[in-house]
């Protein structure tokens, strides 16, 4: 065997990825000029004014709300943008934002222009954007906890901390742009961001105690609750119950056809669930409860419904001053586990794959999910109907 040659070994490296559109000779100013020339001077957008506490449909110059000189910039022509419950919290003044920001952290579209350093997508590609960027340099990022990055994550969230996708065009860093499979529709892809958060919650569950006969309870039939149920269905679980106080949303859940039971919360009884003193031999109760409503009282309701060894996943965003009542004795005697889920660290690829499979199974039809589309001009109606609960999700069509 020949002696190790360090220099030769270093030389045997993979070549850098080839750029798919621009050559390395393009200057930053040339690229910026090219990007600007390919786009309209103004773009319409839904902009939140913190001081006025108002969401306004405005026309803005793209160069005034984004850095077109960034070689890593990708300009997306937005086709669909979803409204999240977090957006409602913004309008209620419960989520801090810059003085003015274009909302929208769930959006898909087509690449309209790219900077000189972008190589993994090109003009015309269909893409979905992860709104959470990480610095990839801090201890949280090095430890794989990119969602706790103090230099990124929520502090740089696209659509909350900086301008987002409820606009005809949005400028984002290339690191958060994910190309879509050719067979995946944009309608399915607009659900990638919320599904990626659900995938994180599922990943945090302890799987060693789960079987195909495990019983699941989902609290809340909003889009988060329905996506939780769809993910469980995708993984082969069939004993899924969902509770929802609003009759219109219960009807939507019932028509989806994947639940063993759809019921109002008050119909659930703890009488047939395992009790700390009876040996845990009851047939009722649930192995996993996913709390998706953001209502602290739902957590109080969930714990007594868990079987011995059961797990509660707190997924919904409750108000920061909400409190729950826990019995350490019950937690101990039933060996209950409580897990939480925050954002979507490295789960975007998984969400894309799961939604692609669900779309193939005809489970992502907007009408079946209670999703309705709106134009930007109708944003007031969209937010009002979502808040009233007459729809499960509002999605803006921009192209």
What whole-number distance in Å separates Cα of residue 164 and Cα of residue 152?
Answer: 15
Contact 201, 232 (CB under 8 A): no
DSSP state of 180: P
Q: Tell me whether residue 241 is one of the annotated catalytic residues.
A: no
Q: Tell me whether residue 13 is one of the annotated catalytic residues.
A: no
Nearest to 62 by CA among 80, 72, 76, 48: 76
Nearest to 193 by CA among 134, 145, 130, 247: 130
DSSP state of 162: B
Q: Identify the three-state secondary structure at position 274.
A: coil
Query: What is the signed CA dihedral for 360, 215, 200, 368, rounded to 10 degrees?
Result: 40
Say which of 86, 97, 185, 270 is annotated catalytic.
86
What whole-number distance in Å separates Cα of residue 49 and Cα of residue 136?
Answer: 31
Exposure string for 254-277, b = 16+ CB within 10 A, e = fewer: eebebbeebbebeebeeeebbbbe
Tokens 């969400």 correspond to: 351
Exposure string for 11-25, b = 16+ CB within 10 A, e = fewer: eeeeeeeebeebeee
What whole-number distance in Å separates Cα of residue 20 and Cα of residue 122?
Answer: 6
Exposure of 377 by Cβ count < 10 A (0-12 exposed, 13-18 middle, 19+ buried)? exposed
DSSP state of 120: S
What whole-number distance in Å separates Cα of residue 384 and Cα of residue 366?
Answer: 19
What whole-number distance in Å separates Cα of residue 46 and Cα of residue 144?
Answer: 34
Tokens linked to 85: 């419950």
What whole-number distance in Å separates Cα of residue 263 and Cα of residue 220?
Answer: 10
Nearest to 358 by CA among 230, 228, 185, 183: 230
Say which of 89, 120, 151, 282 is annotated catalytic.
89
Active-site positions read: 86, 89
């Amino acid at each position: 065997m020949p002696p190790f040659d360090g220099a030769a070994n270093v030389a045997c490296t993979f070549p850098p990825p080839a750029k798919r559109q621009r050559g390395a000779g393009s200057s930053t100013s040339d690229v910026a000029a090219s990007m600007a020339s390919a786009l309209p001077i103004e773009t319409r957008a839904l902009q939140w004014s913190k001081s006025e506490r108002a969401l306004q449909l405005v026309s803005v110059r793209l160069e005034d709300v984004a850095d077109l000189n960034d070689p890593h910039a990708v300009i997306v022509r937005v086709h669909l943008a979803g409204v999240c419950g977090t957006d409602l919290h913004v309008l209620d003044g419960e989520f801090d934002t810059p003085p003015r920001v274009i909302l929208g952290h769930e959006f898909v579209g087509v690449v309209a222009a790219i900077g000189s350093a972008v190589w993994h997508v090109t003009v015309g590609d269909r893409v979905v954007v992860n709104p959470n960027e990480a610095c990839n340099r801090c201890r949280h990022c090095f430890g794989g906890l990119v969602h706790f990055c103090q230099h990124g994550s929520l502090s740089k969230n696209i659509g909350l901390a900086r301008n987002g996708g409820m606009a005809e065009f949005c400028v984002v860093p290339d690191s958060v742009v994910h190309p879509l499979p050719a067979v995946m529709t944009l309608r399915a892809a607009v659900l990638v961001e919320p599904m990626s958060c659900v995938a994180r919650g599922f990943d945090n569950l302890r799987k060693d105690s789960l079987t195909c006969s495990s019983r699941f309870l989902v609290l809340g039939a909003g889009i988060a609750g329905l996506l939780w149920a769809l993910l469980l269905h995708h993984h082969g679980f069939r004993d899924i119950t969902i509770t929802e106080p609003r009759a219109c949303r219960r009807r939507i859940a019932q028509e989806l056809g994947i639940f063993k039971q759809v019921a109002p919360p008050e119909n659930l009884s703890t009488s047939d669930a395992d009790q700390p003193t009876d040996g845990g031999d009851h047939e009722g109760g649930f192995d996993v409860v996913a709390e998706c409503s953001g209502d602290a009282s739902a957590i109080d309701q969930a714990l007594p419904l868990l079987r011995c060894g059961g797990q509660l996943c707190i997924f919904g965003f409750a108000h920061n001053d909400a409190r729950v009542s826990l019995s350490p004795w019950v937690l101990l005697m039933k060996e209950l586990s409580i897990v939480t889920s925050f954002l979507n660290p490295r789960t975007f690829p998984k969400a894309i794959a799961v939604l692609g499979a669900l779309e193939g199974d005809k489970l992502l039809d907007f009408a079946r999910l209670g999703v309705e589309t709106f134009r930007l001009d109708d944003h007031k109606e969209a937010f009002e109907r979502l808040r009233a609960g007459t729809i499960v999700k509002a999605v803006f069509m921009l192209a």
